[in-house]
Amino acid sequence: MTLPETFIFTQQNLQDYIDCNRRFYLREILKLEWPAIESEPVREQEELILLGTQFHLLCQQFFLGIPVEDLSDQITNLELQVWWQNFLKLDFKSLNGTLSSEKLISIPFAGFRLAAKYDLLLRDLNGKNFIYDWKTSKHQPQRKYLVERMQSKIYPLVISKYIGAKRFDTDFNPESIDMIYWYPAFPNTPISFGYSKVQFEADQTGLEKLIYEINKKKEPDFVLTEREKTCSYCRFRSLCNRGVTAGVSDQQEIDFQATNAFNFDFEAL
């Protein structure tokens, strides 16, 4: 199997591959539309996705300079109101530095492109780069769960390589990068990770190996996961003969890039 040259790797599709090779194949290569329910309770999940979408949009509008009062007027949901107030307390307005929100960056990587969409990138006056990711789940996961996620590896790597390439600086120091997962429902306990040259190199090698492995595979090599619990939260379970009903998710994390969260699809316009 050779992937098309225009295939784009993201934290979401690589996480799929890690979770289940087969899922990657069905979703990314076959592009299969399989409208089963992923996990229960489905109504609450939809509600949470809508709230998360609204929160992300509010933040983006805030950074565009739309007056806070106008934005606050748009909020009718109590929970969102609390999240929004918590966000305002971060006081980004008074920070000195450069900010860009909802920024998509992709880099050439291992014969393909590797892309990341950043909720917020902040570069302060000391040259320190902060990656903020808004996590609108109702539970905060443990640090060790996040550290293993593809997002924690790909986001700092993409920005490091991007800044390095932009400045023609192969010696760009990854230590200047911090990745911060900020939970509006838990404003005082952000989970942040520093970055280092060692980590950068380890992630780079690991990801290159992974992409090489994926590209080498033939259809039957994309095997079903051995961890059958994963199938409870996967819409392909009927196709794979891995169960009937969707499992009840603890809503550990709803990833906005993994869902069709936005009610309009920018790509489709």
Partner 1 sequence: MNFDDLSPAQQEIVRLPLQTKVFLHGQAGSGKTTAAIHRMLGLIDQGIPAESVLVLVPQRSLAQGYRDVIRTPNSRAGGEPAILTIGGLAQRMIALFWPIVAKNAGFKNPTRPPQFLTLETAQYYLASIVEPLLQKGYFESVTVDPNRLYSQILDNLNKSAVVGFAPDEISQRLIQAWAGKASQSVIYEQAQECALLFRKLCLQQDLLDFSLQLSIFTDHLWTSFLCKKYLTSTYRHLIYDNAEEDYPVAHDIIAKWLPDFESALILSDTEAGFRSFMGADPVSANSLGDQCSKKVEFCNSLVKTHPLDNLESALSRSLIEHRLDGHFDSDVESSFSIHPFRFYPQVIDWIVKQVSELLINQNVTPNEIVILTPFLSDSLRFSFYTRFTECGIPINTFRPSRSLRDEPAVKTVITLAKLAYPIWALKPSKDEVRTALMLTITDCDYVRADLLTQILYSSASGSLRSFDPVKKEMQQRLTYTIGERYEKLRRWLEQNSNQGTLELDFFLSKLFGEILSQPGFKFHENFDSASSVNRLIESCRKFRQTMTDGTLINEASISKEYIRLVDEGILAAQYLSDWAGKSQSDSVLISPAFSFLMSNRPAKYQFWLDIGSQGWWTRLDQPLTHPYVLNRNWARGQLWTDAQEYSTNQKTLARVTTGLIRRCSDHIFMCSIGINEQGNEERGALVMAIQTILRKLKTTAGGKHV
Q: What does the alpha-carbon distance between residue 21 and residue 16 come to, in Å, rounded to a whole number?
A: 7
User: Binding to ligand SF4 by residue 217, rule CB under 6 A?
Assistant: no
> Given candidates 113, 117, 123, 242, which one binds ligand SF4 under the rule CB under 6 A?
242
> Given candidates 2, 85, 98, 238, which one binds partner 1 under the rule CB under 8 A?
238
Q: Which does 20 bind (CB under 5 to 8 A by kind): ligand SF4, partner 1, none?
A: ligand SF4
Cα–chain center distance at 104: 12
Q: Which does 248 bind (CB under 5 to 8 A by kind): partner 1, ligand SF4, none?
A: none
What the block records as the tokens of 238 is 């009927």
Candidates 55-63, 147-155, 202-210, 216-224: pick the segment binding partner 1 (CB under 8 A): 55-63
Residue entry with tokens 């979770």:
19
Candidates 5-13, 76-84, 208-216, 222-230: pick the segment binding ligand SF4 (CB under 6 A): 222-230
CA distances from 14 to 21, 22, 94, 234 (A): 9, 12, 37, 15
Which positions from 105 to 134 touch partner 1 by CB under 8 A, shown as an x/- string? xxxxx-xxx---------------------
Dihedral sign, Cα of residue 83, residue 38, residue 3, residue 217 = positive
- State the DSSP code for 248: B
Residue 104, burial from CB neighbour count under 10 angstroms (0-12, 13-18, 19+): exposed
> Given candidates 2, 74, 81, 85, which one binds partner 1 under the rule CB under 8 A?
74
E strands, 170-212, are 177-183, 186-194
Of all helices (H) and strands (E), which one includes residue 87? helix 78-89
Q: Which of 250, 257, 264 is nearest to 44 (CA)?
A: 250
Interacting residue ranges for ligand SF4, rule: CB under 6 A:
20, 22-23, 26, 224-225, 230-231, 234, 236-237, 240, 242
Interacting residue ranges for partner 1, rule: CB under 8 A:
5-6, 8, 30, 32-37, 42-43, 54, 57, 60-61, 64-67, 70-71, 73-74, 76, 103-109, 111-113, 161-162, 165-166, 235, 237-239, 241, 244-246, 263-264, 266, 268-269
